[in-house]
Amino acid sequence: MSCQREDVSSTAEETATDAVTATAARYAAQIDSVTSKHCKGKLTAIDSTALPAAILTYLSTNYPKAAIAFAGTDASGTYVVGIVLDGQPKGLLFDPSGTFTKLLEHYGKRAQLTPVTTADLPATITTYISTNYAAATIKKAGKNADGTYFVAISTSDTVKVLVFDASGSFKEEQTPPKGKGHRERK
C-alpha cells in the first residue's frame, strides 16, 4: 500500500476546515502528557511528505486508512504524528530514527472537535475578533472536549486560527501550514 498526497483544489470552506482540524491536532499533540514528557521543546509542524520512510511504513502497515492531520518534530528529532481513523483522532510518538514509541494518552480527546456555529460562539470571542481582526470573516469554528475553541478567520487570502479557552479568553493565534499537509491512506 502506498501513501499518496491528495491533489485536489480546495474551496475556502475546505481550507478553513483543514486549518481548524490541523490546529486542533497540533494543540492536542503539544499539550499531551506523553509529548510533554518525551519531547524536547516546542513542536515544529512539518509536512507529512517530510516524515521518514520508517514512519510512513508504520502508518501504512498499522493504519492504512488513516489521514494525517498533523506531523511535527521537536528539537531532539522526536516525531509526533496526529492521525484520524474512522473519525477518531489518535496521536503517535516516534523516536528520531522513525521507530514507533507510544500512543499519546490524551490526544484523541483534545483533537476531536465539535462544530460550533458563529452564532453559538461566546460573545467574548466574537467581540475579540471584531475588535482585533476587524476585516476578518469567521469561516469555521469548533470546540474540543476540554472546552477550548478553535476559530478559523479569513482576511483576504490569509486563513488564521485563533485559540480561545473555555471561558472565551484569547490564548494564541496560529497560521496553519501551507497546503493540506495530510494524506489519506488508501
Cβ neighbours of residue 31 under 8 Å, at least 6 residues apart? 106, 110
Please report the pLDDT score of residue 69 as a whole number. 85
- The set of cell numbers assigned to 164 is 480561545
Please report the pLDDT score of residue 185 as a whole number. 38
Share of the chain above pLDDT 70, in %: 73
Cβ neighbours of residue 154 under 8 Å, at least 6 residues apart? 12, 16, 136, 137, 139
Distance separating alpha carbons of residues 24 and 57, to the nearest angstrom: 25
Residue 181 has pLDDT above 50, yes or no: no
Does residue 166 lie within any of the structural domains? Answer: yes
Please report the pLDDT score of residue 178 as a whole number. 54
Distance separating alpha carbons of residues 46 and 56, to the nearest angstrom: 14
pLDDT, tens only, 62-105: 999 998 888 888 888 889 898 888 888 888 999 999 999 988 87
Number of H helices, E strands in the chain: 5, 12
> What rounded mean pLDDT belongs to the chain?
79
Query: Of 34-48, 52-66, 77-91, 137-151, which gets the smallest average pLDDT?
Result: 34-48
Does residue 170 lie within any of the structural domains? Answer: yes
Please report the pLDDT score of residue 10 as a whole number. 40
Helix (H, G, I), strand (E, B) or coil at 69: strand
CATH number of the domain at 65, please. 3.40.1420
Distance separating alpha carbons of residues 114 and 74, to the nearest angstrom: 28
Share of the chain above pLDDT 90, in %: 32
Please, are residues 69 and 182 in contact by the beta-carbon 8 Å criterion? yes
Residue 151's domain comprises 114-174
Q: Quick one: 59 and 86 in the same domain?
A: yes
Distance separating alpha carbons of residues 36 and 30, to the nearest angstrom: 7
Residue 55 has pLDDT above 80, yes or no: yes
Q: Quick one: 99 and 147 in the same domain?
A: no
Amino acid 18 reads: D
Query: Of 22-36, 59-73, 88-102, 168-182, which gets the smallest average pLDDT?
Result: 22-36
Does residue 1 lie within any of the structural domains? Answer: no
Which phi and psi (to 5°) does residue 54 adopt?
A: -60, -40
Q: Quick one: 92 and 79 in the same domain?
A: yes
Q: What is the pTM of this model?
A: 0.67
- Given pLDDT bands bounded at 50, 70 and 90, which one contains residue 130? very high
Which of 97, 112, 127 corresponds to the end of one domain?
Answer: 112
Which of 112, 133, 148 corresponds to the end of one domain?
Answer: 112
